[in-house]
């Protein structure tokens, strides 16, 4: 049997169409599987972030230095348990000053040791717009924390987040009290 150019061309077109169809099928299969992986990864991340039993009442002590007024106040507190059973405690501080920057020199003593979390043992940063520059560390068997530096006043609020295996109470020095603003 003799094949003409038209038959060869027609069989070539059919094989290209089959090849394209198979590529599209493979591409759809890959996209679907990546979509499933991304969805399951998002569910895992959501499970890890879950916290329960938030407590927003600060029961610790604040030591105010009457001679060295800082104009920095404890403005927020939250303590919750994450999915691993650890307590995550967030202290939010703020300044009523509208200066471009304000000084920070906070010292915190805890009744239970902290679990080191982050490069310096705890997490800190600005809330909203603003920037913090300085240093800090955990000391004394992870039951004492200090944070020194400057915060730009645009956001006027910053946080310190610590992790512990038990509920903690803190004694805070370097602030002028507790306030809401």
Query: How far apart are alpha carbons 28 and 46 in whole angstroms?
Result: 27
What percent of the chain stands above pLDDT 70?
72
Closest CA to 58 of 172, 175, 176, 174: 172
* CA angle (50, 53, 59) in 5-degree steps: 125
Pick the CATH number of 51-173 from 2.60.40, 2.120.10, 1.10.10, 2.40.10: 2.60.40
Instruction: Please say whether the beta carbons of 90 and 159 come within 8 A.
Output: yes
Query: How far apart are alpha carbons 56 and 176 in whole angstroms?
Result: 20
What are the boundaries of each domain within the chain?
Answer: 1-49, 51-173
Higher pLDDT, 150 or 19: 150
Please write the tens of the pLDDT for every residue from 55-93: 788 889 999 988 888 888 999 999 999 999 999 999 999
């Amino acid at each position: 049997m003799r094949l003409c150019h038209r038959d060869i061309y027609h069989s070539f077109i059919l094989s290209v169409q089959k090849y394209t169809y198979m590529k599209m099928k493979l591409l759809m299969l890959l996209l679907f599987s990546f979509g499933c992986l991304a969805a399951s990864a998002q569910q895992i991340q959501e499970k890890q972030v879950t916290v329960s039993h938030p407590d927003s009442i600060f029961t610790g002590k604040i030591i105010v230095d009457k001679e060295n007024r800082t104009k920095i106040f404890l403005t927020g507190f939250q303590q919750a348990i994450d999915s691993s059973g650890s307590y995550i405690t967030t202290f939010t501080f703020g300044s009523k000053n509208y200066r471009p920057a304000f000084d920070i020199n906070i010292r915190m003593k805890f009744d239970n040791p902290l679990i080191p979390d982050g490069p310096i043992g705890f997490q800190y940063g600005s809330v909203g717009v603003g920037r913090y520059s300085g240093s800090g560390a955990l000391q004394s068997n992870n039951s004492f924390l200090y944070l020194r530096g400057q915060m730009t006043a645009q956001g006027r609020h910053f946080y310190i987040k610590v992790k512990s295996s038990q509920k903690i109470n803190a004694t805070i020095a370097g602030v002028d009290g507790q306030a809401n603003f």
